[in-house]
Amino acid sequence: MEKTLDLKYTYTEKKDTRSGFGDGFLEVGRKNPNVVGLCADLIGSLKMGAFQNEFPERFFQTGIAEANMMGIAAGLSINGKIPYTGTFANFSTGRVYDQIRQSIAYSDKNVKICASHAGLTLGEDGATHQILEDLGMMKMLPHMTVINPCDYNQTKAATIAIADYEGPVYLRFGRPSWPIFTPADQKFEIGKAWKMIDGKDVTIFATGHLVWEAVVAEAMLREEGIHAEVINIHTIKPLDEEAILESVAKTGCCVSAEEHQMNGGLGDSIAQTLIRNHPAPMEMVAVNDSFGESGVPTDLLQKYGLNAENIVKSVKKAIARK
């Protein structure tokens, strides 16, 4: 269906965002000798092998001991070192929440928590590994910056950019092959929302893989005469409240879209911002208080309503409530 649509952004190649992390990690390692890697036995899955091969003296395997990895990373962050930890998103958050809270966030340590295989698009492994609560857990922590890029290029840019920011960061990415629709040479600015498509009738705020679905939804809506603004919220925290309010002041309603629980996700943060400043009709495209299951990513996204079709439906609901 995408093929017949007049898309504002297109792609010629698909790649996983974790590869964007792996390639960005190697590049930032070359640029910055303070960057150090740690991994809890998932070097292949996290695409950290190239960095490890090139900089073995700056890379530490911790074994399957994620809590220990977080504590070690916090302790390692002395004398200018910038540890990047790598494991799946569920083992990067829920499993190690107290370590992150005490030793990284509360202590304001310059640790970059790099979390792959987030959300439903992990696919076949099912609910145990498909974390849908990580953004919420991480955004609640004082001092923590939370980033969820949308494609290979943006993930690579974010991986490089976070080394120049002093403080704890949660960087979330995923496993599936996904359209590369943002430019390779983009400048990644933490906390700065990116208006990708200008519109007047509704704003779609999307993060992660769902930004692509928002781009598709915009084209579908345009065929029906609805002009949606699409804003890429790659940084969940700090949230670009100014960009959100400016857009909703213009369009009068919005939809959030994310591969996460509705509770505690991006939609929650946007709703809080709107309620405090500029209440407006809002719909949320997110997982509604449920665990995931096995399947190929597209089937799972379809079942849980995390796709362009459901964004279109939600947009119509939001507009009707204006």
Minimum distance between the CB of residue 106 and other proteins, rounded to whole angstroms? 5
Q: Using CB under 8 A, count the residues that bind other proteins.
A: 27
Strand, helix or coil for residue 87 = strand
Q: Is 251 helix (H, G, I), strand (E, B) or coil?
A: helix
Choose between 33 and 238: whose C-beta lies nearer to other proteins.
33
Closer CB to other proteins, 107 or 302, in the complex: 107
For residues 263 and 17, give the distance between their C-alpha atoms in angstroms, rounded to a whole number. 24
DSSP letters along 89-104, please?
TTTTTGGGHHHIIIII
Q: Judged by CB, which is closer to other proteins: 8, or 81?
A: 81
- CB-nearer residue toward other proteins: 63 or 279: 63
Q: Distances in Å between the alpha carbon of 287 and those of 120, 132, 223?
A: 9, 8, 27
Closest distance to other proteins from the beta carbon of 103 (Å): 5
| Separation of alpha carbons 4 and 217, rounded Å | 13
Q: Does 95 bind other proteins (CB under 8 A)?
A: no
User: Site mask, other proteins, residues 29-68, x = CB under 8 A?
Assistant: -------x--------------------xx-x-xx-x-xx
Q: How many CA atoms lie within 13 A of 97 on its CB side?
A: 13
Single residue of 3, 4, 13, 79 touching other proteins by CB under 8 A: 79
| One-character DSSP codes across 254-276 | EEEEEEEESTTSHHHHHHHHHHH
Q: Which stretch binds other proteins (CB under 8 A): 77-85, 204-212, 214-222, 225-233?
A: 77-85
- CB 20, min distance to other proteins, A: 27
The residue with tokens 């609560």 is: 133
Selected from 76, 216, 221, 254, the binder of other proteins by CB under 8 A is 76
Query: Which is nearer to other proteins, 76 or 190 (by Cβ)?
Result: 76
Among residues 8, 14, 106, 263, which is the contact residue for other proteins, using CB under 8 A? Answer: 106
3-state SS of 168-235? CEEEECCCCEEECCCCCCCCCCCCCCEEEECCCCEEEEECCCHHHHHHHHHHHHHHCCCCEEEEECCE
Stretch that binds other proteins, among 73-81, 120-128, 136-144, 206-214 (CB under 8 A): 73-81
DSSP 58: G
* Out of 81, 95, 195, 313, the residue judged to bind other proteins by CB under 8 A: 81
Q: Which residues bind other proteins (CB under 8 A)?
A: 36, 57-58, 60, 62-63, 65, 67-68, 70-79, 81, 83, 98-99, 102-103, 106-107
